[in-house]
Amino acid sequence: MKNVALLGATGAMGQRFVDMLENHPYFDLRVLVASSHRRGKKYGKDVHWLLGNSVPDYVKDLEIMEFNVKTLEKENIDIVFSALPSEVAREYEGTLREKGYPVFSNSSAYRMEGDVPIVIPEVNREHIKLTKIQKEKYGGFIVTNSNCSTSGLVMALYPLKKFGIEEVIVTTYQAISGAGYPGVASLDICSNVIPYIKNEEEKIRRESRKILGTYENGKIKSYKMRIIASCARVPVRDGHLESVVVKLREDVSLEKIKESMENLKPLEGLPTAPKKPIIIRDEDNRPQPLLDACMGNGKSKGMSVVVGRFANIEGYLRFYLLVHNTIRGGAGNAILNAEYALKHGYVR
């Protein structure tokens, strides 16, 4: 068992970490860090809990701490998870790396740094080798998640890489939980769609090229493809839906496409790894956020990407995908990264 700390523990994403780390076989969540005005308050009393259940018992009486490396040292923290907003993440995660900590972060602050990987382990686990370079430089390292929409997109694209991805046009229908709390005002989104999410389109473009890229001699070489993203917020609680139109270099049948996706190899023996990273639905009208965001059971619930509505149109491949934005697109992926890193000796 490793002792872990969580930064940004009271926010919407932090709550998801807390929920997923309950009874985790590897990680013992011992330190909850949040804004200084919450310091000393009991988590169970102070947090505005947003998930449809209660604050888990194991953290109810933990006292919230403010960010302080000394505290982490005193509590013998081995691994740090970060659900910080980017503004703060830059400073805190950097400090922790300098102090020798492995940081698994959902924040965007370091994602595009040359020596920091964005890891989705079923897709690009070899990128985690960058942590060695970081360790040499700083003592510790940062492994990041991708942006929430990107995670689902990349998982669906990766099995198509072998056919040559020339161009991707992705249009999103994103859930409100992606904006954190308080996030989107109800007057703005109730019975409405907002066709704008700050920086999201640019993140999708940059990050997906990096994740699909190849690790060579301590560097990531981006994958070359044209990519156009159009992002909108819809009045849905959880689950980002994405329509994807892809131009492949090869001419491939839909059957082969589906087969490639279904055969995306699961990670063996990791608690949060889903048995089927990609689930194909053959119905006319799936995937749907309400029905498909939480596929799976136990610790890997919500970690699969659900794909459907395949069609070949005008020489393009078209499909819809659904990703749970705070699980695979957030806390769950960071935990899976840490599990993988631990099992393969990147963390000791």
Q: Which is nearer to a copy of itself, 12 or 21 (CB)?
A: 12
CB 132 within 8 A of CB 235: no
To the nearest whole angstrom, how small is the minimum distance from the Cβ of residue 167 to a copy of itself?
7
Pairing between β-strand 2-7 and β-strand 27-33 as defined by DSSP bridges: parallel
Q: Which is nearer to a copy of itself, 76 or 192 (CB)?
A: 192
Q: Which is nearer to a copy of itself, 58 or 316 (CB)?
A: 316
Question: From CA 346, how far away is CA 102, in angstroms rounded?
Answer: 9
Q: Give me the catalytic one of 127, 148, 231, 324.
A: 148
Question: From CA 101, how far away is CA 92, in angstroms rounded?
Answer: 11
CB 10 within 8 A of CB 18: no
Is 190 among the catalytic positions? Answer: no
Q: What are phi and psi of 115, to 5 degrees?
A: -100, 10
Which residues of the shown chain bind a copy of itself in the complex (CB under 8 A)?
12, 49-50, 52-54, 167, 169, 171, 173, 176-177, 181-196, 226-228, 230, 232, 234-237, 241, 243, 245, 284-291, 293-295, 308-309, 313-316, 318, 320
Q: Which helix (H) or strand (E) holds 105?
A: strand 102-105
To the nearest whole angstrom, how small is the minimum distance from the Cβ of residue 77 to a copy of itself?
30
Pairing between β-strand 278-280 and β-strand 214-216 as defined by DSSP bridges: unpaired
To the nearest whole angstrom, how small is the minimum distance from the Cβ of residue 250 to a copy of itself?
19
Cα–Cα distance list, 256 to 162, 253, 277 (Å)? 12, 5, 17
Amino acid (one-letter) located at 148: C
Task: Name residues whose C-beta falls within 8 Å of residue 109's C-beta, 6 or more positions apart in sequence.
Answer: 84, 86, 89, 90, 93
Which residue reads 């000394």 in tokens? 70
To the nearest whole angstrom, how small is the minimum distance from the Cβ of residue 198 to a copy of itself?
8
To the nearest whole angstrom, how small is the minimum distance from the Cβ of residue 71 to a copy of itself?
29
Amino acid (one-letter) located at 88: V
- 227-254 as b/e, with b when 16 or more CB fall inside 10 Å? bebebebbebebbbbbebbbbbeeebee
Q: Which is nearer to a copy of itself, 215 or 310 (CB)?
A: 310
CB 134 within 8 A of CB 116: yes
Question: From CA 131, how far away is CA 124, in angstroms rounded?
Answer: 13
Q: Give me the catalytic one of 24, 127, 231, 240.
A: 240
To the nearest whole angstrom, how small is the minimum distance from the Cβ of residue 122 to a copy of itself?
21
Q: Which is nearer to a copy of itself, 91 or 188 (CB)?
A: 188
Is 240 among the catalytic positions? Answer: yes
Q: Which is nearer to a copy of itself, 191 or 253 (CB)?
A: 191
Catalytic residues: 148, 240
